A and B are shown apart, each in its own frame.
Chain A
Amino acid sequence: MTGPVGAFLPDGRLHLQHGPIDLVIEAFGSPGEVRAAYAQAAARFDTILTPLAADLAGLRTPIGDTYPLFAGPVARRMASAVWPHRSRFITPMAAVAGAVADEVLAAMLAGRLLDRAYVNNGGDIALHLAPGQRFNAGIVADPHQAALAAVADVDAADPVRGIATSGWGGRSFSLGIADAVTVLAADAATADAAATIIANAVDADHPGIRRAPARNLQPDSDLGERLVTVHVPQLPVDLLDRALKAGIAVADGLRRQGLIFAAGLVAQGRFRSLGIPARPLVQGEVA
């Protein structure tokens, strides 16, 4: 069994990895503060995965009427993030990536004075913004094109410290056909859970869509026998638009509940957003 490892990437960002967790971390501020923050992040990371793995059985169990109690701090973040969604099918695993990012960000900020920082856990990102600071997050509508459909400007004054993306082609499974649902929320775990729920809602009925029981793909998947999307053919535009509309409806509900701040939904190059100014950007031709 291999333990957690850390290394600096050639450009100076910190890379922490243990099992399925890959964190890319960057802090901005005085060199001394940045160094200390990185050391705190690495120290916290040492004991992230093992306690989390110990709670896996419970974390893979769907949330019902009883609030699940966990010992580990990351597991507690996960439970808290998915609890508001208990009327739908969800397990705490829907928030795992975001919760890890939040936990490590919190550890690296303790006692530090940083202008900005982020912990990017495979696309689920926890942010720190000191007053007056901002982050730009690009949203890609078509993964085959190196062009951004929109840019979300996150200002320190916005209630956004987490960005997460979910889709059927990613590392975790989806019940829907969205290529990417990106959510901006108060923290990464909340964004992660909401992105999962919204992506599941972007769905269509089409004979070309192939689905398989999650357990047939990953024996231990928290989705059990549920059919997850394994192939989406080119879909008619009206079907895509209906699917995106259904996703937007769910996203809008979550926004009214105060769970999310904004969302961008992408299916086969079609982009719908809620709360994000969709400004088309001209990109150079990729050659």
Chain B
Amino acid sequence: MNAVPEIEEPGIVRCDACPVVCRIREGRAGACDRYANVAGVLTRVDPLVIAGQAAPETLVPFLHGDEGSALPAPSITGIGSGTTYPDYKPAPFIVASKHAGIDMITVVTEGIFSYCGVKVKIDTDRFLGPEQAAVLANGEKVGHVTTAEYGSQMLSLGGVNHLTGGSKKEGNVTCDTMLALCNKLPAELVVEGGATIVVQAGKAPVVNGVREQRMRVGCGSAAIGMFAPQWRHLADEVIVIDDHITGVLSEHQGGKYLDMKPAGIRVRGRRSTPGRYFQVAGHGGGWGGTDVTDPLEIIEKIDPKTAWPGLRLLMVSTTGEDAAYFVLDGALKPQPVEMPAAVRAAVARVEENCEPSLCTVLFNAGAGGSLRAGVTENPVRLTLSVKDALTRVTCGGAPVYVWPGGGITFMVDVSAMPDNSFGYVPTPALVAPIEFTMRREHYERLGGHVAEAVTLEQVLERTAHRRLG
């Protein structure tokens, strides 16, 4: 060996967790696969997350409601607990902890979910693609656009048919996409006949390369309902352009109530009720989720019998991101003029009332028979116990919504879970933490593996070597 001292290259982290002292390049793990260089920081990558040790920002509040009355959330989460599959052995950890004088049992495991999917809510009015259109990742179908909801477009991704019902590649890409989204990482999705979007839990969506800013305050009609009194003296007519319902103030119930004079400006589209118009333009990336870039395009005609020279017209999108101010000239042609400060303030208020646009990712999965068998000898009783609210289900410590009906099918907001809670197996299927918490007597009654119960202290002892440094 030569004695030339090694010069540390940039981007390499020296790990001092054990005598091997690995030098680790960015994005890679050391020889142990336990410590990695994440963006230049030595990071433990196999955490068994225990509430007392996790970083505060990853903690999920554990007690909901009155202490003692409700079942507490577990004091330990299933992340990193490992699992056996199929679950012919009791779940990795069955923890007995005392809560308000009652012996509580928490069954901590990581479930392998062959039946799982992801529901993505994207706060945007922009046209992402037609309903039912396929959503592709890396050229593979991983889901579809489902029914639009309030101010949002919804995607339904994953599910057993994409995971295991199609080609192996389709399954693997579906698994990868869900894994990224559930671990709060970005995923690029292409909607067939629609947009290319980058989706990431807790972040604004990026639609065709443009980061979305705000979700609309309401439809055009709702915006008028909210702001009509404030607009009354700022303009003689306000048209709120929206992909769903475009509102025309003087014609709208809100304007009528304020005794506004009809302005004689007729917009395109199909009139629903007075001052409310459907389909004034096509879907697109323009004003208010329409394909309009020049707002005057939506004006069908200006009635010379009703309109008057000098009429002040404000046109604004439902998010306030786009606005223009016009005054009718002698020929009743709208002429753009500089927006008075008071009008600018009114537009700013629309924008202020629009919440930041976000993507939210809900993981939807079913705790199948084999997973339940890790908890009890009689799996159906666990289901019944959950339905009877005797057993509380959490996912990485985060609260879940358990669907009524058969099985234990639940939804959880991945943003409420600690980072990197999810893993996968090559089946392909996702691995997610799941905890069942119940009173000891209920656990005994449902045929639980009571003999396997250990105290929280014993778990900490047993897993001491896995603690976060």
Contacts and interface: CB of A to CB of B under 8 A. Distances in A.
Given A10-B90, A216-B25, A217-B28, A17 B465 contact: yes
Interface stretch (A54-62, A124-132, A158-166, A259-267): A54-62
Contact of B19 (A53, A57, A58): A53
Given A19-B18, A20-B20, A286 B30 contact: no
A56 to B, nearest CB: 7
A50 B18 CA distance: 8
Given A19-B31, A20-B32, A287-B114, A219 B9 contact: yes
A52 B427 CA distance: 37
Nearest to B171: A144
Contact of A2 (B17, B114, B426): B17
Interface in A20-53: 20, 22, 49-50, 52-53
A1 interface: yes
A219 B90 CA distance: 41
A144 B1 contact: no
B441 interface: no
A59 to B, nearest CB: 11
B464 interface: yes
B28 A19 contact: no
Interface string B119-136: 000000000000000000
Contacts of A220: 22-23
Contacts of A2: 17-18, 465, 469
A171 interface: yes
B12 interface: yes
Contact of B23 (A19, A20, A143, A219): A219
A171 B31 contact: yes
Among A52, A143, A217, A220, the one with the most B-chain Cβ atoms within 10 Å of its Cβ is A220
Contacts of A61: 1
Interface in B5-34: 9, 12, 16-25, 28, 30-33
Interface string A55-89: 01110010000000000000000000000000000
Nearest to B454: A10
A87 to B, nearest CB: 23
Contacts of A133: none
Interface in A126-179: 143-144, 146, 171
A226 interface: no
B35 to A, nearest CB: 9
B467 to A, nearest CB: 9
B195 to A, nearest CB: 30
Contact of A144 (B33, B114, B168, B462): B168
B92 interface: yes
Given A10-B89, A19-B31, A217 B25 contact: yes
Contacts of B24: 218-219
B464 A7 contact: yes
Given A10-B452, A144-B427, A171-B33, A218 B19 contact: no
A219 B12 contact: yes
B463 interface: yes
A117 B23 CA distance: 35
B92 A10 contact: yes
A249 interface: no
Contacts of B368: 287
Interface in A188-228: 216-220
Nearest to B33: A171
Contacts of B17: 1-2, 19
Nearest to A58: B1
B331 to A, nearest CB: 68
Interface of B: 1, 9, 12, 16-25, 28, 30-33, 89-90, 92-93, 114, 168, 368, 426-428, 452, 461-465, 469
15 contacts: A7-B461, A7-B465, A19-B31, A20-B20, A20-B30, A20-B32, A53-B20, A143-B426, A144-B428, A171-B31, A218-B23, A218-B24, A218-B25, A219-B24, A286-B427
